Amino acid sequence: MIGSVLGWLLDPEHWRSTPFDTGIWAQLGAHVGFTLIALAIAVLLALPAGLVIGHTGRGSWLVSAANAVRALPTVGVLVLLVVVISPHFYGRTNAGFLIPTEIVLVVLAVPPILSNAYAGVQNVPPQVRDAAFGMGMTGPQVLGRVELPNALPLIFSGFRSAMLQVIATATIASYVTLGGLGRFIYDGLAQKDYPQMIGGAVLVAALALISDLLVALVQRYAVSRGVSRRFRTDTGPDSRTAVLVEEDVR
Amino acid sequence: MIRFDAATKRYPDGTVAVDQLTLEAPSGAITVLVGPSGCGKTTSLRMVNRMIEPTSGTVWLDDTDTASLPAHELRRRIGYVIQNAGLFPHRTVLDNVATVPLLLGEDRRRARASALELVERVGLDPALAKRYPAQLSGGQQQRVGVARALAADPPVMLMDEPFSAVDPVVREQLQDEFLRLQGELGKTIVFVTHDIDEAIKLGDQVAVLRVGGTLAQLATPAELLARPIDAFVAGFVGRDRGYRALAFAHGRNLPVREEPTVAVGSSHPGSAAGLAGWILAVDAERRPQGWLPTADELDETVTDSRLHRGGTLATQGGALRSALDACLSSPSGRGVVVDDDGRLLGSVTAREVLELIEERER
Amino acid sequence: MSVDVLPLDASSSPLAFWSYFLDHRSTDLGWLWDHTWLSVVPVVVGLVLALPLGWLARRHAWVYPPMMSVTGLLYTIPSIALFVLIPPLFGLSVLSPLQVPIALSVYSTSLLVRVVADGLAAVPSETVQAATALGYRPLARFTRVELPIAVPVITAGLRVAIVANVSIVAVAGTIGLDNLGRLFDQGFTLSVNEPYYPPIVLGIVLCVLLALVLDAVVLVVDRLLTPWRRAVAAR
């Protein structure tokens, strides 16, 4: 089995697109595309909101409300939205599938980013905030120069958690006949072409692992050593930290 | 100069943290606010840089009403040191110290250069400048906190229990260095503490506040010890007031008498000198080392291990408290007096010191 | 064709999910039961594995970083990919009833190892030293002192794991494995021509109810295991 999966993955024909089949490169591009769009929207919505709620202490109900979304089954919401929205776009483009998918992806990505930005700012030691104001920083300066840099580990953790959920859910989106690497899993299943199905799963796993690694690298350089304590033998927060933070906030 | 003019802080739930406080902290001096918890000392301090806004009344900074400036501009003119230092974890020591100059628009290189000077000035190894706060001890962090407050050279400093989170030994070091630094800089300082001993040690004047936020007494430390205004202040200032007050009484003319000595490393003259019990051992520079029992065998070399080191030293012109203590702690009953370089001047007895104390009283 | 102009057939209305449930009661209850054990058993397995692993990571500092890296990597793999990858790795058939519980156990273990290790790390060191000074040996100290104190942190992790599992199990429905996720599959298939909501809404409702009930169960267990916290709150 492993041999035939490798065979499927290493066949250059499978990477190129043909008039009949979309190749791995194209599906990978589509997958990364959905993911980036959803993450960009989610970050634009959730990061400023989380930072401001954490800074002012007002509106934390919004964080709790966003976290309640976690109890919803992703697949169910995805299917429901596709069924609700797609008839309005029938026959024109794949927007009928793209829009519900992006909505679900954004809905999933917002809670970890929001609650981690909020918790990150809230967790800044009160005496640090006190000193910042006491030295004559204005509110925005305190947020930008002190609270944000100290909240970065949790913000990154939330972003990584959001990114992994988006990559995973974008895979499932292929189930509602959208492109992306999930296509190979569901097509392979339908055609009983198991090397293709397993090969697709390998690609999805690799995409998730590599993306997480890249963000972890950015995190390493973006976060001050004084905050990450990289002079100690501690591993910093990762995507698991984020889900636990959400639990805390709830 | 900082002046509180009927400053009051009342919270919406009706509690009054500071009630009609009128108080002047003179320029170039340390004014200590001290009192039990709930006396409003920190609230009063924080009203100066408007971390807390007074409900009524005014706080003046020289001739400026502090309420007339935007809060952040006011704060950039006032150094602020808090308990646990509140250093920014994401910035190095150097960048922490350079914070306010950078906020004021100074260029980065100059701000860092002067920050480095300050790091050394507060007694830190400049090698620590590149470290992060989490890599420093509590005492080191507190020194950085002081350097950071000094960085923009503000004429006024507010210090909120800056030394209370470190152990007693480090605290004493920090206090001594703080006094040395203040001797050089002459800032106008308001200092909050709950520790009356710290207040008496550091303050040029001490304001004792009582629960409910009213001023009980404003006085110099010596006055506070000698004449507490009421039972509350007396109780707060605590026991041994008479003895502690001697720390502020100076014995400029101690009747020092010559004291026979023996050099460490020489041999023992024994009772030949006709001394009862003990003889003072000194080193080559005539610095007292300890007392030797004359009952010891004759003609043995005076070694360090044979010396009694219980006695403290008094200085000519120093406090009567240390003169009396030198007498009381000396096994011979004779208190050793030295000059500013630590060289032996002679000795006094407790009776003689007491006479000086009584003269002072009269 | 547009649904806007067509009057909604009463039976395809989103609110018709209850009659849909009554019509297919035995199938739906079977899927609910599958969904329940698939959500719960992996968390139990995960906890049983995570306790010794987390203890090891705390006791030997050098174990902690590699253990966190490896479990972090496993936690990173998307669920659908892990479902598909489990059979070839474990020598199972492509659609096996074991692949979902195994995959979810991997997730739960990965999450809970970190929770247990960090929860134990949060036990005040004075408490651990006092327990040692009183004569507890390492194992007894772990089970009778450190673990009880870490319970609130661990149960918080359990709640996260179990609620996440309810959502992930449904994903397995899309590759034809039996659980409430099949309701979404049904609804999607039945909606090819025009929207047919009842099975989709029923699936969402049952999943949310299941998540809330399981979460509440963990919460109750947490309260029973930590009576001292109630004592403090009541004071």
Instruction: List the single residue in A131, A141, A227 with the smallest CB-CB distance to B86.
Output: A131
> Please, what is the average pLDDT of chain B?
89
Structure tokens at A159: 């972003």
Contact (CB<8Å) A71/C65: no
CA-based nearest distance A30→chain C, Å: 17
The pLDDT tens digits for B34-93 are: 999 889 999 999 999 999 999 999 999 999 999 999 999 999 999 999 988 899 999 999
Asked whether residue A213 is domain-assigned, the answer is no
Residue A250 confidence (pLDDT): 47
The pLDDT tens digits for C34-48 are: 999 999 999 999 999
Query: Which site among A79, A165, A220 would you substitute to test the C interface, given the most C Cβ atoms closer than 10 Å to its Cβ?
Result: A79
pLDDT band at A234 (very low <50, low <70, confident <90, very high): low
The domain made up of C15-126+153-202+217-228 has a fold known as MetI-like fold (1.10.3720)
**pLDDT above 50 (res C1):** no
**pLDDT above 60 (res B128):** yes
Q: Contact at 8 Å (CB) between C150 and C114?
A: no
pLDDT band at A90 (very low <50, low <70, confident <90, very high): low
Asked whether residue A122 is domain-assigned, the answer is yes
Q: Contact at 8 Å (CB) between B261 and B282?
A: yes
Query: Which site among C183, C184, C193, C197 would you substitute to test the A interface, given the most A Cβ atoms closer than 10 Å to its Cβ?
Result: C184
CA-based nearest distance A161→chain C, Å: 9
Asked whether residue A210 is domain-assigned, the answer is no
Residue C25 confidence (pLDDT): 81
**pLDDT above 70 (res B201):** yes
**pLDDT above 80 (res A243):** no
Residue C47 confidence (pLDDT): 95
> Please, what is the average pLDDT of chain A?
87
Every domain of chain B and the residues it spans: 2-238, 261-361
Query: Which site among B88, B156, B157, B164 would you substitute to test the A interface, given the most A Cβ atoms closer than 10 Å to its Cβ?
Result: B88
Chain A residues near residue C121 by CB distance under 8 angstroms: none
Would you call C81 an interface residue with chain A, using a CB distance cutoff of 8 Å? yes
CA-nearest residue to C207 within chain A is A73
Residue B276 confidence (pLDDT): 64
Give the span between the Cα atoms of C197 and C180, in whole angstroms.
15
The Cβ of residue C45 has, within 10 Å, a number of other Cβ atoms equal to 18
Q: ipTM, 2 decimals?
A: 0.84
- Touch A-C: 3+ C-beta pairs under 8 A: yes
Chain C residues near residue A70 by CB distance under 8 angstroms: 163-164, 167
The pLDDT tens digits for B299-334 are: 677 777 778 888 888 888 888 888 899 999 998 888
Residue B359 confidence (pLDDT): 80
- The top-level CATH class assigned to B2-238 is alpha beta
**pLDDT above 80 (res B19):** yes
Segment (H or E) for C153: helix C147-173
**pLDDT above 50 (res C7):** no
Chain C residues near residue A1 by CB distance under 8 angstroms: 88
Which among A10, A23, A200, A11 has a CA at the least distance from the CA of C84?
A200
Which among C108, C123, C91, C89 has a CA at the least distance from the CA of C42?
C108
The pLDDT tens digits for C86-126 are: 988 888 887 788 889 999 999 999 999 999 998 998 888 88
Inter-axis angle of helices C147-173 and A74-85, nearest 10:
40
Asked which of A158-167, B228-237, B247-256 is least confident by mean pLDDT, the reply is B247-256
Long-range contacts of B243-249 (CB under 8 A, 24+ apart): B243/B321, B244/B200, B244/B321, B246/B319, B246/B320, B246/B321, B246/B324, B246/B357, B247/B200, B247/B319, B247/B321, B247/B322, B248/B220, B248/B221, B248/B222, B248/B319, B249/B222, B249/B319, B249/B320, B249/B321, B249/B357, B249/B360
Pick the CATH number of B261-361 from 3.40.630.30, 3.10.580.10, 3.90.1300.10, 3.50.50.60: 3.10.580.10
Give the span between the Cα atoms of C143 and C151, in whole angstroms.
11
Chain C residues near residue A176 by CB distance under 8 angstroms: 188
Give the span between the Cα atoms of C43 and B13, in whole angstroms.
48
Mode of pairing for the β-strands spanning B2-10 and B56-61: antiparallel
CA-based nearest distance C172→chain A, Å: 10
The Cβ of residue C133 has, within 10 Å, a number of other Cβ atoms equal to 8
The pLDDT tens digits for C181-196 are: 999 988 888 887 788 8
Domain that holds residue A45: 25-181+240-249
Asked whether residue A135 is domain-assigned, the answer is yes
Q: Do domains B2-238 and B261-361 have the same CATH topology?
A: no
The pLDDT tens digits for A43-74 are: 999 999 999 999 998 888 888 888 888 888 98
Contact (CB<8Å) B82/A131: yes
The residue behind tokens 């609110």 is C15
Structure tokens at B326: 């030198």
Chain A residues near residue B87 by CB distance under 8 angstroms: 128, 131
Segment (H or E) for B20: strand B16-25
**pLDDT above 50 (res C2):** no
Structure tokens at C48: 């049983």
Into how many domains does chain A fold?
1
Residue B275 confidence (pLDDT): 59
Query: Which site among C84, C93, C115 would you substitute to test the A interface, given the most A Cβ atoms closer than 10 Å to its Cβ?
Result: C84
Give the span between the Cα atoms of C179 and C181, in whole angstroms.
5
Contact (CB<8Å) A201/C2: no
What spatial distance separates the first Cα and last Cα of chain B, rounded to whole Å? 36
Structure tokens at B332: 């011979």
CATH number for the domain harbouring residue A65: 1.10.3720.10
Q: Which are the contacts of B41, defined by CB distance < 8 A and separation ≥ 6?
A: B33, B34, B35, B192, B194, B209
